[in-house]
Chain A
Amino acid sequence: MSASQAILPLGTALAAVGIWWLLPGSGMRRRTLGGVLAVIGFGFLGALVPAVSNWFTSGVFHAVAGATIVAAVATISFRNPVYCAIWFGMTLTGTAGLFLLAGAEFLAVATLVVYAGAILVTFLFVLMLAAPEGHAYYDRHSWEAMISAFTGAVLVGILTMMIGSAMLKAEAVQASGPAPTLAEPSVPAAAQPAPYTISRLGAELFTRYLVAVEVAGTLLFAALVGAAVIVTQGRAAMKASAVTREGDAVHVS
């Protein structure tokens, strides 16, 4: 146990230093070194994750999770925002794979279709509309890369520690006494209902969560109107202020 207690802070710290050096603003050699350090750090964290008894499931999970995390780190460390968006698409694909592994097929497809298909393409559209040519100077520099990297690392470390200790507690309770609240699914597999089918999800969505669906629809409508208003009213205000500035200039001259 002491070894794993040492590995967790070590892995988080290595990953933090790696991400710090990977963030824009450092030189090529530091970036390379940072990439190596981040891989080692996340490898330590991955080694801490307990393996399930089915080695195939375990292997697939590790591969998909590793790809997701690599893509996530690449998203925040590339300098060109277009590459950032494309790596974010890779992260989304990895998350969809993890959803699939967790048995949430509908969410996997929805993530791909809605996020990667619609939201990400809108991002790329705005980037193409707005990005100046080449690498902008503000993409080559980060705010306080070290402090933010270590903030994130401390957060991840605390969360991971909490997860580990909660799991240990649940196992200890299971070993010593009757089924605890955390271990509810320890009912025999045959007695459980069919875990997730899309029809069950849909039935639940349109019966129990019907009001929430209506509210979400209203929210989408409001967002659509709001986006249109922001763009049109903002343009009108800009035009008006430009006109007054011109008028002032004429008046002064």
Chain B
Amino acid sequence: MSPEQVLHDQLAALQSFLAVGAVLFGVGLIGFLSRRNMIVMFLSAEMMLQGVSLSLVAWGRYRHDLGGQMLVIFIIAVAACEAAIALALVLMLFERKGNLDIAKWQELRESNQPPFEEEWQPPEDKEEPPQWPHLPPAGVLPESVSQKEFYRRKV
């Protein structure tokens, strides 16, 4: 392969890895902004870390430098710390409010912000009596088989 071809391949590989990293980061961002479950928000944050790690590894490969991989090793270590702390916090927040909804903690917002109002109310559980279908009698009337004859009373 010619040097130009090698360079083009390396650049193409770098570009594709960076694109995947960017997409992972973006998807994680969307999840973090839009989901309301604290644990799913945290999963999205971890996904953003994955995107960054991918970019770092790609750059390290392109420049033939181990620094990128080193940084990712430390990212994994820090992510483990973060997971331990955050899961302990989430567990405590859950025990305080009884669910994982981040909107339950809206009193922590800025004092000049309007409160979040839930537009959607959980539906009330209405126990409606089941409506059984009425089948019209059809077909040939079976010959009358008396239950007394059919089943033995005693063994």
Contact = CB atoms under 8 A, between A and B. Distances in A.
Contacts of A35: none
A149 B34 contact: yes
A132 B100 CA distance: 9
A123 B87 CA distance: 7
Nearest to B59: A102
A234 B61 contact: no
Nearest to A57: B13
A223 B79 CA distance: 11
Interface in B22-41: 22-31, 33-37, 39-40
Interface stretch (B42-50, B107-115, B132-140, B146-154): B42-50
Most buried by A among B8, B31, B61: B31
A36 B137 CA distance: 48
Nearest to B81: A223
Interface string A121-148: 0110011011110001111011111011
Interface string B1-33: 101111111111111111110111111111101
A73 B34 CA distance: 13
Nearest to A230: B88
B80 A119 contact: yes
Chain B interface bracket (under 10, 10 to 19, 20 to 34, 35 or more): 35 or more
Contact of A138 (B37, B54, B95): B37
A192 interface: yes
Chain A interface bracket (under 10, 10 to 19, 20 to 34, 35 or more): 35 or more
Given A53-B5, A119-B79, A186-B3, A137 B122 contact: yes
B20 A98 contact: yes
Interface in B72-119: 72-74, 76-85, 87-92, 94-96, 99-103
Contacts of A219: 77-78, 81
Contacts of A131: 100
B80 A72 contact: no
B47 A114 contact: no
Contacts of B22: 155-156, 159-160, 163
Given A126-B90, A204-B70, A72 B28 contact: yes
Interface string A231-250: 10011001000000000000
A152 B26 contact: yes
B50 A69 contact: no
Contacts of B58: 102
Contacts of B69: 104, 106-107, 196, 201
Contact of B70 (A73, A159, A205): A205
Given A81-B39, A200-B66, A107 B80 contact: no
A175 B4 CA distance: 8
14 contacts: A52-B9, A81-B100, A91-B47, A107-B76, A123-B43, A151-B30, A160-B22, A167-B14, A170-B11, A196-B69, A200-B66, A223-B84, A223-B85, A230-B88
